[in-house]
Amino acid sequence: MDRLQSRGIWIKLATLIVGLAIANYAQAGARKWAIVAGNNYGGSARVPLRFAEEDANRLSRVLIELGRFDKDQVQLMLGASAAELLKAIRTTAANSQKSADSDGSLFLFFYSGHADGESLLTGDDRLGITELKQAVEASGADVSLVILDACNSGAAVREKGGRSAPSFLRFNESPRAKGRIILTSAAASELAQESDEIGSSFFTHYLVSGLMGDADRSGDRRITLEEIYRYVFDRTVLRTADTMPGVQHPAFLYDLEGEGSIILTDLNNENTGIMLTENSTGNYLVFDSERLSVVAELDKHKGEMHLLPLSPGKYLVKKRLADHLLVSEVQIKPGVRLVIRDEDMRKTDFETPTAKGWDLALRSKPSKWEAQTVFGWTAYSRAPTGGVWSFPTSGIGLRLRGWPAPQWNTRIGITAGAWQHSSPVQERRLNFTLLQLSASFAIGRALEYGPFTAEFGGQSSLVFLQRRFNDNGYSGTDQSVGGGLGPYALASVQLGPVRIAFETSAGVQFFPKADNIVIPYVYAGLTLGFKL
């Protein structure tokens, strides 16, 4: 899969489609089974995932707690092989056929892990998507639901006999008793994407946010399947339109018969959660502090009251502003609507979005402070006393990330260099050792994508130069002190705790007491940064 890790919310949509949307299966006599699989390992050629198995864990809990699945009918399979998954599907099919009754039956299969568009990559082997669908459809259940949480998973909806839903999908009829549904997190040729900021993939994040009320377009506090699909599709496309991997389009195929309306969630009777007042406005993110997972996102408009229903517990609320976040830690108690006000929240910086397609084993979460070791080469096209000078330099520095504003970096450094040169002195050419010592200050705008950073900015420096002569009986020293200004550009990659950067700069230095006062210079160098 080179897919994006965190899939917790997809989970809830699947549960609600099964438990609430399909009316026949909400009855007490309906029989439901689920196989919930997660696999972080997709073979030696793939970087292990971080959240696939935990996402499967989350789904199994949601199916039992909210989807009205019996606990003994939900089979959680972590790190299972292709053969083990097929065996489990066939065993479940046999059990469902033995327990068939007039109230209908449903079989759900969920997989979170690596995929390549044709197969699920289950460790060192693979399970073909076509073979998987045939096995699920052979289960004999009245309704089968397959959820594939992986990159390129939209290939599963390319076939005859089903209808792919556009962004403006309209459900004038609901599933009655027979058919199948396939849900995928990305189109056949797309990567699913995640964000460190929300701790989830964009797609699953918006699924959960919509079900918890943000998708309610009609204002009746009832979330229909049409509303949630519109919301998730639109938000995922909008949020990923500006990312480097490109736009991500959720995919949905259904082949069902039915009548009636579909209501996924009804929030009218909820009295516990977070209350946003009429004056609140903006984008709010809510996280479960204990499970460290995203709960919901709300786009709040001024003039409306909004209750986000939450179970009792500890939560972290973030409000998105143009260049930073407001953060508040809250404790929700049963039967209490806790009012959140912007003035009670503290300010903090943004995290950086990433794409799962990069080798995340090479990437470590960046640190605010970084110690640096610098190696480079400086050249003067016109030296203070004439001629062309160039010399190697090395030094140390300190980098502050995210200051004075998010996506800006500041650094200070000290470098020294020495090299052998010659100069005409009293009709002779004498060799001398050039010594250089400088202190610098730089500030620049950073563009970050995964482990890669491009940075552009300006820097100033204080420079001390000294010539030491000891040649042909002539000895002595002279020195110059000056300052410099100029732009710089660098590109870097984060390799675990170490950041490697290549930097170039150019500009002018000023030596008021030298023969040549204005000195053009160029610099190229390598920087090693170490997280503090």
pLDDT digit string, tens, across residues 325-384? 788 888 888 888 888 888 888 887 765 444 444 443 344 455 689 999 999 999 988 877
Dist. CA 175–CA 177, nearest whole Å:
6
Q: Which helix (H) or strand (E) holds 53?
A: helix 52-65
pLDDT per residue over 245-274, tens digit each?
677 787 777 666 654 344 555 666 667 788
DSSP of 226-252, one letter per residue? HHHHHHHHHHHHHHHTTSTT-----EE
For the chain, the maximum distance between any two Cα atoms, rounded to a whole number of angstroms, is 111
Residue range 273-348, CATH number: 2.60.40
End-to-end CA distance of the chain: 33
| pLDDT attached to residue 27 | 42
d(CA 233, CA 250): 6
Q: How confident is the model at residue 159 (pLDDT cuts 50, 70, 90)?
A: very low
Query: Are the beta carbons of 294 and 285 closer than 8 angstroms?
Result: yes
457 pLDDT exceeds 70? yes
Mean pLDDT across 279-290 = 82
CA separation for the pair 263, 216 (Å, rounded): 11
Mean pLDDT to the nearest integer, 79-85? 93
pLDDT in tens, 471-495: 767 778 888 899 999 999 999 998 8
pLDDT tier, 18 (very low <50, low <70, confident <90, very high otherwise) = very low
Cis peptide before 451 (omega within 30 of 0): no
* 186-191: average pLDDT: 70
**pLDDT for 422-452, tens place per residue?**
877 666 778 888 899 999 999 999 987 768 8
Asked if the 360-531 domain carries CATH number 3.30.420.40, the reply is: no
Q: For residue 100, what pLDDT is reported?
A: 53
How many angstroms from the chain centroid is the CA of residue 293? 13
Query: Taking the model in full, what pTM does it have?
Result: 0.52
Checking if the pLDDT of 318 tops 50, the result is yes
Residue range 112-158, pLDDT digits in tens: 888 887 888 888 888 998 899 888 888 878 778 787 877 655 555 44
Average pLDDT, the chain: 76
Q: Which of 164, 225, 140, 156 is nearest to 188 (CA)?
A: 156
Alpha helix stretches (DSSP H) within 179-315: 202-209, 225-240
CATH classification (class only), 10-260: alpha beta
- Structural domain boundaries in the chain: 10-260, 273-348, 360-531
Residue 303 or residue 330, greater confidence: 330
Instruction: Give the lowest-confidence range in 17-21, 60-64, 277-281, 411-415.
Output: 17-21
Per the listing, tokens 């002195």 go with 425
Q: Which of 192, 211, 190 has the alpha carbon at shortest distance from 270?
A: 211
286-309 per-residue burial string, b: 16 or more CB within 10 A, e: under 16: bbbeeeebbbbbbebeeeeebbbb
Note the pLDDT of residue 101: 53
Does residue 390 contact residue 380 with C-beta atoms inside 8 Å? yes
d(CA 288, CA 266): 21
Give 99-112 pLDDT, tens digit per residue. Answer: 555 456 778 888 88
Question: 237: burial class by Cβ within 10 Å (0-12, 13-18, 19+)?
Answer: middle
Query: What pLDDT is attached to residue 7?
Result: 42
Rg of the chain on CA atoms, in Å? 31
Residue 24 has a pLDDT of 41
Q: Is 21's pLDDT higher than 50?
A: no
State the Cα–Cα distance between residues 152 and 188, nearest whole angstrom: 4
